[in-house]
Structure 1
């Protein structure tokens, strides 16, 4: 008897919605088939590559066909597949049988995950997929003078160069793109990644504070606050957006995954906390013994020029309150609406039809 097996599943259908669990179950099945002394082909469809197309192979090539993992019912996909390999020994493995078995069981051997008769543990419990680093990505939004797009592209190239589980983290709380609602949620997520890639100052700080190695890129040419902060606390993995090199970034990322990097993080964290405590002491001392602060305050009040902070700003550079911008926007809409309503009806109807 020909001892070749075709292994199929929802990864064998372009619109089969395959999951990570399907692929892990497939890997387990391949191991079991090899242990049983059989060779095998895998039926893949897009977006997966390799394997065979089950619609094109000769059914007589295979002694057994295994359909592994996921729901299984009496629908068109299942019918097409079963009819194609009706002359083979049909095996169902790790399936959730949606039709009661007393009404329908198309398999010669069924080791289902669950059915109307029994429940078994999912075979993915036996999968041994190697784990990859969990990498947080925390990016600053574009702002004038920043080379954020250069930094972002470099980070994307690094991410695409190897396997890693990417988690996007937004530190903004007024409008958060990653559905985080508080500083505690932001920090808790950063604390749980293996490495953080960031163009944000507080991405850098929160990572190091929580013993997470960070690959920081200062988005300003020549470096600004991120470079200054990293140099002050002694963290070496910081780069300037106008001096990026892909190989250097790759080497830095590899370093961030080492025990040596973890020890360096701890050293920087401890030193930073000592220096921050000094700021705390100075702040409290100035408030509790405010002699020098009071002298500076009185001198400022006595000097009118020192209180004209906006005197040198042009009107165009001054930030307008949000309500002013909204009023201006709504006023334009109101003027436009009034102009439309005062038009003769035939002209109004014509413009309205053009707009639609």
Structure 2
């Protein structure tokens, strides 16, 4: 069983691996043994350059473009005595001109086209986490430890099988290409949890019912810790309490339904607290207004 995942630096995609797994499942159901040839960075399997061609009844190549050129000619030459099977391939040349396969179920060729085999693959899902980090804050002087705080978050995220979505809440210069409030909030609203060293990373997460793991990047606690205490959000860490282990445990919790319910409850408490502010502000403006001509 070979494909572009069997060759280093040849651009094997998620779809290639999904098509491969479909065929592997078919062979497994039929009781047919197989080896998978893998190259870096994929682990396990065999190297097609090292195996004995005579040990195999067939050699298959699964998914992607396939044409007469390197490195495929070397591959075909090595297994020239074995029946070749092509599955889910885009044949780059007319089959009348070149077809090295005894059996060919192409994705598209000069004779036909089929849906890509990845349509038959099982759904693959992992959780999605927003990464919302602060830059240097010179106003805090020696109390600023944002680099270490951000690094702790990155260490936690790199160890987890999750999709990490970088979100920058700053709009005058945005590192993630977002240009409006709606774009920032829409990105945050669609994730399962967030990890943040920004105050509005915490606030916008909770506003959208997304549980945040919050690290205050100011030693001793700054505005983030004060805001978390004010609204009653407990998943907040300071310089003294933030560790990879503690943040990992907190993220585990924030990815639960219980945490989402807690985030929604926190949002409603915050809104209820702020509700009288509109009328109070308008009254104060009226009371303190300077005479105008």
Question: C-alpha displacement at 1:129, in angstroms?
Answer: 4.8
Is 1:50 matched up with 2:44? yes
Name the counterpart of 2:173. 175
Which secondary structure does the structure 2 equivalent of 1:179 belong to? coil
Q: How does 1:157-168 map to 2 (within 5 A)?
A: 157-168=155-166
Q: Deviations over 1:230-262 (max 9, x none)?
A: 111111111113321222211111111111111
Name the counterpart of 1:194. 192
Question: C-alpha displacement at 1:133, in angstroms?
Answer: 0.6
Which secondary structure does the structure 2 equivalent of 1:76 belong to? coil
**Residue number among 101, 109, 114 corresponding to 1:115 in the alignment:** 109
Name the counterpart of 2:54. 60
**Gaps (5+ residues) in structure 2?**
none
Q: If the length of structure 1 is used for normalisation, what is the TM-score?
A: 0.77
Name the counterpart of 1:100. 94
| Cα distance in 1, alignment partners of residues 61 and 242 from structure 2 | 48
Name the counterpart of 2:79. 85
Is 1:33 matched up with 2:31? no
Name the counterpart of 1:12. 6
Which secondary structure does the structure 2 equivalent of 1:95 belong to? strand
Question: C-alpha displacement at 1:286, in angstroms?
Answer: 1.7
- Larger RCO: 1 or 2 (CA < 8 Å, sep 6+): 2
Which secondary structure does the structure 2 equivalent of 1:92 belong to? strand
Name the counterpart of 2:253. 255
Which secondary structure does the structure 1 equivalent of 2:42 belong to? coil
| Cα distance in 1, alignment partners of residues 182 and 4 from structure 2 | 40
| Cα distance in 1, alignment partners of residues 239 and 267 from structure 2 | 24
Name the counterpart of 2:150. 152
Contact 1:150/1:241 (<8 A) preserved: no
Q: Deviations over 1:205-234 (max 9, x none)?
A: 111111111111110112111111111111
Contact 1:113/1:121 (<8 A) preserved: yes
Which secondary structure does the structure 2 equivalent of 1:113 belong to? coil
Question: C-alpha displacement at 1:64, in angstroms?
Answer: 1.1
Q: If the length of structure 2 is used for normalisation, what is the TM-score?
A: 0.93
**Gaps (5+ residues) in structure 1?**
1-6, 299-356
| Cα distance in 1, alignment partners of residues 67 and 279 from structure 2 | 69
The Cα RMSD (Å) is 1.5
Question: C-alpha displacement at 1:283, in angstroms?
Answer: 1.5
| Cα distance in 2, alignment partners of residues 257 and 130 from structure 1 | 18
Which secondary structure does the structure 1 equivalent of 2:71 belong to? helix
Which secondary structure does the structure 2 equivalent of 1:74 belong to? coil
| Cα distance in 1, alignment partners of residues 197 and 262 from structure 2 | 20
| Cα distance in 2, alignment partners of residues 121 and 164 from structure 1 | 29
Question: C-alpha displacement at 1:160, in angstroms?
Answer: 2.1
Question: Which structure has the larger Rg?
Answer: 1
